[in-house]
Structure formats: C-alpha cells, structure tokens
Chain A
Amino acid sequence: MQQLLENRPRLIGLPVLALMLVVWLIPPPGATHATTHEISLDATQYEYAPGRVHVNQGDRVVITLTAADVVHGFYLDGYGLERRVEPGVSQQITFTADKAGKFRYRCSVSCGPLHPFMIGELVVESNTPYWRATGLVLVAVGGMLAYLWLTGKNKSYQEVISGK
C-alpha cells in the first residue's frame, strides 16, 4: 500500500475525498426538544442588541424588533425574512429555525454611513456547517501533508521546486 502511494502519490486524494464526504455527511446530533425563544432585538446605529443570538435547530423564534433612534430594517440571511421598523413602533417576526448554521441579520433600510455593516448573528445550533467546514479543512490539511510527505520523499530539490 505504502509502495503504491509512493509511486502514485496522487492516489492519496481518494481516501481524503472519501473522508471529506464522510465529514460532510455525518448526521447532526439528534434534535433537542423544540422550545420557543422570545427575543427583544433593539436596533440602533449601527448595531443590534443583542448582537448574537443562539437557538437550537427546530426552535420557534419570536423576535420583537424595536428601533431606538432612526428607521432601521432587519434582513435575515438564509431565511430571507425582512422587516422595516420605525422608532416607537415595534415589529414582531416569528419563524422556525429549521436550518442549522450562522445566519447574519442585517439592516435593510439605509440608516447612516455605517449601514452596510450593521450586522448581528443568529447561531442555530448545532451549527453543523461550521463543524463540517472545520472538519473538511482539517482533513484537507491532513491529505496535503500526506501528499507532500509522499511526493517529496524521492524527489530532488530541483524537482520539488519545479513542481515536477
């Protein structure tokens, strides 16, 4: 096996790809008991309070959105939810957090110079995309190190540098 890999080091790509596939397909942890999260989200130039919200996948989320200074907006990436909120008039947004991952909520109404960067984060646990991405990167690094080890072993300095 080792001999085969030393002769044809690119074959290392096969187990690496298989491992990446496994990492990608690992099922997320079993669903927890779904609960309802009532969140008061206050928008001011140029932040939301709280700036980061954690819920579990499957939870029902009820956001009461208020604006403290000027007219703001709320757009939730990945879920496509959008609301406009004026000072003194709260808005309620209800949805089920059925997709895991980190989703940014951002102001959708031009509210001042830093408007494009007025961002908050909804983390829907178990945040499988993040853990899968981390796993994929580590597997890819392992594969690359194995490839470099195998290819460099019998190559001269000139062959390594020229990439032969």
Chain B
Amino acid sequence: MLTEGRIDLLERIPLLKRMLKARAFQPAMMLLTLFVFTLAILTGIAGTPAGSRNFGIIFVWIVWWALLIVVLVPFFGRLWCTICPIPAPGEWLQRRAIIERLPGKLRTRGLRWPRRLKNMWLQNFGFLGVAVFSTIILTRPNVSAWLLLSFLLVGVALSAFYKNRVFCRYVCPVGGFIGLYSLLSPIELRVADPNVCADHKTKDCVTGNEHGYGCPWMVFPGDLTRNVYCGMCFECLKTCPKNNIVLNLRPFGSDLMVAKERRLDEAYKAFIMLGCALLYSVVLLGPWGWLKNWASMDTLPHWALYASSFVIFNLVLLPGLFALVVWLIRRITGNQRPFHQMFVDFAYTLIPLGLAAWIAFSFGFVLINGSYALVVLSDPFGWGWNLFGTSGVSWTPLGTSLIPFLQVGVLTAGLLFALNTAYKVARQHNAHHRPAFLAMLPVAGFAVLVTLGFLRLYLG
C-alpha cells in the first residue's frame, strides 16, 4: 500500500465525498454533456458547412479539446470519463434506469469480450484510423457529426451485447489516450487498505449492491495500482461497505513506476500519440498547403500516400528508431534483460513528453481560434441567429506573441519529466547508479532530439 505523499481528498473535503456518493451526480453531469453532444451532432448535420461558424466543430475541437488536453487530462486524469456522454445511453439501457439502482441483472446479451481484444490495440488502431481522416473530421461539420454519432451508436450496440462499459474500456479511441496520460495525473482512485478488500467476502465493488453497480470498467479496486483502466465513475465509492475507497492527491506521474503492469499495447499508444502530435504540427500548423490538401483528400491517391506514410511513421518508423535506442543501451550497458521488456519499459518515458507535445500543439490553434466560440454560442447552426448577442464578434486571435513561450515552457517541462522517468526506469533495470545513468543517456538523446524537432517546427 502506497500512502506516502498522498492526501485523501474525500476525507479532507466531506462535501466532495457526499457529492460523488450521490447517485444523481454522475447522470446529472452526463445529461448536461449529452445535451451539448447532441447539439454538436445536430449542428454538424443540419448547420452551416463552414467549420468556423459551426457549433459542432468549434465546441468539440476547440473548446472541449482545449479543456481535455490542457486541463482535465494533466490535472484530473480520467475525470472526463466520469461525465462523458458517449456511454450514457447504452449504460442506461443496460440498467433500465438513469439514477436509481434497480435490482436485477443488467439487460444485455452478456457475451464475453474476446480475450485477445482485452488490451489497448483496438484503441490504438481506432485512434490511428480517426487520425488519418482528422484533417477532414476537424474541418467538415457533417463528417465530425457522423463520427460522434457513430461513437454513440457503437457504444449502444456494444452495451446490448456485452456487460458494462466494454466500449470505454476496449474500443473508445479517446479513452485510450486519456487512460495512458492519466498515469501522469496527480489524482488517483485507490483503496485505503488492500487487505480489507482481500479479506472481504462479498466484493460488493465487483458484484454491486443496493447502493450501486459492480464496477462498469471491470476493475477490482483492491488490485488497482494505476489509473489507466479506472474510469472514475465512483460506483465503488457507493458500493463499498467498508468505506475503503480513497481519492488521493499525489505527485505527478506516480503510476509510471509501476513496472509489473507495463505492456506493449500501452507502449505503442505512447509512440502513436507522440508521432501524431509531431505529424499534426507539420500538417496542420506548417506552411505546406499541398500537404494539407493531401490530408484533406483532394485526390484519393494523394490521401492514400499521406495515410500510409502517417501509419508507417507511427507504427514502424518511430518505434523502429526507439528500438535502435534500446539496442544502443544494451550495447553500452551489457544489460541482458529481454529486449522486448527494455523496449516497453523505456517507452513509458515518452508519456510525459507526448502529453507536453499535445498541449504545445493545442496552444498553436486553440488560442488562435478560441474567439469563434462566442460566435457559435449565439448562432450554433450558422443560420443567422443571435441568441446571446455575440454572433457578430469578429475573429480575434489570442496570445499570438505568448504562444511560443507557452510551447517552449511546456515542452521543456515534458522533456525534463521524461529524463527523470528514464533514469528511474533505468534504475529499475540496474540497481546501481552508474550503469543506470549510462543506460538512460540514449533515451535522453532521443527525447531531446524529438523536443528540438518540435522547437524547429514551432519557432525555427
């Protein structure tokens, strides 16, 4: 049990505990986000095709995205999953209830999720699948709307066949990277004493009771050592009869050191996220119009070449270069650990760098286009409405002189965090200081080169 440096927020803030234990809290938040989500779909389908005048584009890809990547994920981990509207309809259909806990089993076919898909690979490929179309999705309201609707429908369909939140846990492309980056967040849901859970016969957090459902994310809180697969739905807080659930404030990145649960699918997620941030910075924020047109499918052959290069870069080139780094480490230190294990372990050093890269990339377009939010708030469909008197607000780019400083600051922080992580991982491989320090140097070199690449793109 690791409680050092932790502060239990539920104990410190009783109001927070009361709120999170209340059955109405999560559905109320979901209903609110479901309203915004539905509006985003409706405006996307029926509103103006001009993305900068459409609520669906501006509120999803500017407002929500900025909130998610700059605030929620770094500071609150999976908190977005607590209020995400996508699984709501499927979950409520399964439960035949929105707020109260009805007795009886979940209404579903109860099929078993295939064992070979119990990992993050589907989310990795799903994210890449969305990413190769992202230039179109980000700029065409109707495409964006159909994508959001498809998420909702897949969520409902999977809920009809499988128990619990299979969509969130194994399919959702957004949930995959939120889970990975929640390793860094300073918030964790854990149990106060795992022995209490081990000795507890009925395991209400898994089976559910009159106060709540068994964990919809199919996690046993008593074993929880990382944030990746805990959706922070707080059902366990409601069901635990032992009052053993805690919500800790902790040091950033604590989960990165949990060696026994590191996996190749998560390592690849780290590569994909870092690679996509780099490629998006080139394609969307760079001056190369032909590349934007290719990404936007001006012709099918151009897009096919773009998409295949995109996928190869993320799945082969970037991990391949990193494999060379690991090979170098083995040559320098003579470490005899399996190559696979070293590759996976050191890949986790790219998680802080990847999140920093996404934040830096997001600064590059969120602040510039943020003022459109006021316009679409008054005129969500682009039909000439002026609900709040802000539809005439002109485009005002914010912080154009400040953005490079923010980008340098966040990238440097991510890089230093990555170096610290690399040294700690190396110490897990080599108990002694000197060989561990030598082992982390090639990883440090890789991370520095990637960071300098971002600096070149943003400032050079």
Residues on A facing B (Cβ under 8 Å): 44, 46-49, 51-52, 75, 77-78, 80, 101-104, 106, 108, 110, 113-121, 127, 129-130, 133-134, 136-138, 140-141, 144-145, 148-149, 152-153, 155, 157, 160-163
Contacts and interface: CB of A to CB of B under 8 A. Distances in A.
Listed from nearest, the 8 A-B pairs whose CB atoms lie closest are A47-B289, A51-B287, A77-B400, A113-B139, A130-B459, A133-B408, A152-B433, A148-B423
Interface residues of B, number: 57
A126 to B, nearest CB: 12
Contacts of B140: 113
A107 B62 CA distance: 18
Given A47-B292, A116-B365, A163-B5, 20 more contacts: A49-B289, A78-B401, A80-B400, A113-B296, A115-B50, A116-B369, A117-B135, A117-B292, A120-B287, A127-B459, A129-B404, A129-B459, A130-B459, A133-B404, A134-B455, A136-B412, A138-B448, A140-B415, A144-B420, A163-B251
Nearest to B135: A114
B407 to A, nearest CB: 9
Contacts of A48: 287, 289
Q: Name the residue among A120, A134, A148 with the largest chain B CB count within 10 angstroms.
A: A148
Given A152-B427, A152-B433, A113 B51 contact: yes
Contact of B404 (A101, A138, A161, A162): A101
Nearest to A154: B433
B401 A117 contact: no
B292 A114 contact: yes
Contacts of B403: 77
A123 to B, nearest CB: 8
Interface in B29-50: 49-50
A137 B411 contact: yes
Interface of B: 4-5, 49-53, 135-136, 139-140, 251, 257, 284-290, 292-293, 296, 365, 368-369, 395, 397, 400-401, 403-404, 408, 411-412, 415-416, 419-420, 423-424, 427-428, 431, 433, 436-437, 440, 444, 448, 451-452, 455-456, 458-460
Contacts of A148: 419-420, 423, 437, 440
A145 B411 CA distance: 17
A137 B459 contact: no
Contacts of A163: 5, 251
Interface of B is mostly: helix
Given A116-B369, A127-B460, A137 B292 contact: no
A121 B51 contact: no
A7 to B, nearest CB: 16
Q: Name the residue among B251, B424, B444 with the largest chain A CB count within 10 angstroms.
A: B424
A157 B292 contact: no
A117 B397 CA distance: 13
Given A101-B459, A113-B51, A148-B437, A140 B412 contact: yes
A133 B451 CA distance: 11
Given A78-B400, A136-B408, A141 B448 contact: yes
